[in-house]
Amino acid sequence: MNPREWALVAFTLLMQTSVGVLLVVVALQPFVSRGPMHASARPFDLPLLIAGTAAVLALLASLSHLGHPLQAWLALTNVRTSWLSREVVLAVLFACAGAMFTALVRSESGSAVVRGVVCVLAVVLGVAAVFAMSRLYMVPAQPGWNRVTTPVTFFATTLLIGSVVVIAILVSQPVDLASPGLKAGTYMELGVGTYTELGPGPYGGVTGPLVLIAIALLAMQVLLIPAHLAALVREPAAAISAGSVGHAATWLAAARALAAVAAIVLLVGMLRGMPGALSPAAAGIATLVLVFVSELLGRVLFYASSVHLGPV
Amino acid sequence: MQLAFYLDLSACSGCKACQVACKDKHDLEVGRLWRRVATVEGGEWIQQGAAWTTTVFAYSLSLSCMHCEQPACVDACPTRAMHRREDGTVAIADDRCIGCRYCEWVCPYGAPRYDARAGRMTKCDFCQDERQAGRPPACVAACPMRALEFGELRDLEARHGSTRDIYPLPDPAMTRPSLVVTPHRDAQRATSDLGRRTSDDAREHQLPRIGNREEL
């Protein structure tokens, strides 16, 4: 794999992490019920901080693969025909909208309408950025990438990492149920003027469905691995530049599947109220690490399996 | 106006004088080629009773930027550094190229090449300075077989036909390359079922393949 592609691995994974965390935080709104605001019930502060940090690191990583990073602003000038330009514009706008949303939530300023508008804007820009991010790889000269599995896996990664980050944080910082001012269960502020009920325990309430979603996405990613490897073998004879992975693809895919299956085992354990010797926090962090390693290997495999059509 | 190259594969001996002339003219370091010569080879020995016959063949294909009429690189370039000139050639505005290398991925001919020292993309500019001085591009001037020509695309098509779907070039419908080819007698059509055959097929049945891939 070309060294500069490590910067792209970092950019795509971190930006998808940022979008995914924000999407998951916002997606919990249907579970919202009005209740009293309480200082101890702000478990979404950390996910939003992580989303913001990931977006900033992603943009910095994207600069590092350029020959002339100081002229990077020029990449904003061809949104009319270039998916790469659209990706850059959307990613920057998403980062700005996400930062604004986080600032409004943290400072508890702005009306509910303003927070709602900024929230919707950040979500739309984030989804559009991930779509553009995947669409720019779908070019005829790259038959290995020019498949519907490219946007499918990019969006799966987005939601998967987003879910697992939020799960890890929720189970790691259970809110004090005996805290004065809280009604039954615990509450978290969403920043849109309302509150969400977490449920009676760290694995109840909203974390249950999130764990199920994460398991489904992990299973899908694992099931797509054989299809990806088969597609590499079916590389057309006209494709002159074979992927640079060769046999390494199989090992990368196997390691990825192993990490994903281990994460699924931990997530299933969470659903069953395990995790035996593991504390909830340790189980959450271990799951997050395994999922990130799995997605990292998957993304390395994606870039390394570039097959260039034509006489390169 | 659309300038184009004409390539007579029936005359090309694969001597690579065009490749060397291009490197010399543009002072390209090792590994950065604006013009390169692919050797396509294939065929096999077949036993018929007590006799063996051969279908072995080889031909050379001199390739550079195709200065396409619908260039994928121009649409994909995020900075508009890649652009078409009035004469139809595709060029890079150095002051706008940020070295993102996206054009390298989207070009089905592998024409844009990265200059690591300058941090920018480079490619065949159809020897603009030579043409302005009334001389042919360096590759055309160097060809000892007169297998390379250049001119207005419609004129070249009128003289030599409009064939350009030669293996291993991708389907010309993709970007409409400004190239006219007189095929070698054994040249395979890019749009034939060959493009759908796999690399394993190619190895097993000795279908045409590039013999000097690592040089390109």
Query: What amino acid occupies position B118?
Result: A
* pLDDT for res A103: 87
Q: State the pLDDT confidence band at A32, using cuts at 50, 70 and 90.
A: very low
- Burial class for B71, CB neighbours closer than 10 Å (0-12, 13-18, 19+): buried
* pLDDT for res A233: 60
Strand residues in A52-205 grouped as ranges (E): 187-189, 195-197
- For residue B196, the distance in angstroms to the closest alpha carbon of chain A comes to 6
Which tens digits make up the pLDDT trace of B110-144? Answer: 999 999 999 999 999 999 999 999 999 999 999 99
Find the CB nearest A237 among B72, B110, B194. Answer: B194
* pLDDT for res A188: 39
How many residues in total does chain B contain? 216
Residues of B in contact with A312 (CB under 8 A): 109-110, 216
Q: What is the mean pLDDT of chain A?
A: 80
> For residue B93, how many other CB atoms are within 10 A of its CB?
13
Which tens digits make up the pLDDT trace of A211-233? Answer: 889 999 999 999 988 877 776 66
Highest average pLDDT, of A105-119, A178-192, A238-252, B146-160, comes from B146-160
Residue A185 has pLDDT above 70, yes or no: no
Which tens digits make up the pLDDT trace of A136-177? Answer: 999 999 888 888 999 999 999 999 999 999 888 877 765 544
User: Looking at chain A, which residue has its C-alpha nearest residue B96?
Assistant: A74
* pLDDT for res A206: 66
Residues of B in contact with A78 (CB under 8 A): 77-80
What percent of chain B is modeled with pLDDT above 70?
91
Q: Which residues contact A92 (CB under 8 A, 6 or more apart)?
A: A59, A76
Task: For residues B101 and B119, give the distance between their C-alpha atoms in angstroms, rounded to a whole number.
Answer: 10
Model's pTM, two decimal places? Answer: 0.87
Residue of A11, A64, A233, A240 to mutate, interface with B, max B Cβ within 10 Å: A240
Query: Residue for token digits 């990265």?
Result: B114
Q: State the pLDDT confidence band at A38, using cuts at 50, 70 and 90.
A: very low
Q: Number of residue pairs across A and B with CB atoms under 8 Å?
A: 138
Residues A311, B109: C-beta atoms closer than 8 Å: yes
Residues of A in contact with B59 (CB under 8 A): none
Q: State the pLDDT confidence band at A237, using cuts at 50, 70 and 90.
A: very low
* pLDDT for res A126: 97
Residues of A in contact with B110 (CB under 8 A): 241, 308, 310-312
Which residues from A are below 8 Å from B when comparing CB atoms? 4, 65-69, 71-72, 74-78, 81-85, 88, 136-137, 139-142, 233-242, 306, 308-312
Residues 114-133 (B) with a CB less than 8 A from some CB of A = 114, 118-120
Task: For residues A228 and A306, give the distance between their C-alpha atoms in angstroms, rounded to a whole number.
Answer: 12
Dihedral angle of Cα A277, A279, A285, A290, to the nearest 10 degrees: 20
Residues B101, A4: C-beta atoms closer than 8 Å: yes
Residues B98, A68: C-beta atoms closer than 8 Å: yes
How many residues in total does chain A contain? 312
**What average pLDDT score do residues A168-187 get?**
54
Residue of B104, B106, B176 to mutate, interface with A, max A Cβ within 10 Å: B106
Residue A85 has pLDDT above 70, yes or no: yes
What DSSP element (H or E) covers A250? Answer: helix A248-271
Residues A311, B63: C-beta atoms closer than 8 Å: yes
Residues A141, B118: C-beta atoms closer than 8 Å: no
- For residue B14, the distance in angstroms to the closest alpha carbon of chain A comes to 15
Query: What is the token pair recorded at A259?
Result: 């990490």
Which tens digits make up the pLDDT trace of B27-37? Answer: 999 989 999 99
Residues A237, B195: C-beta atoms closer than 8 Å: yes
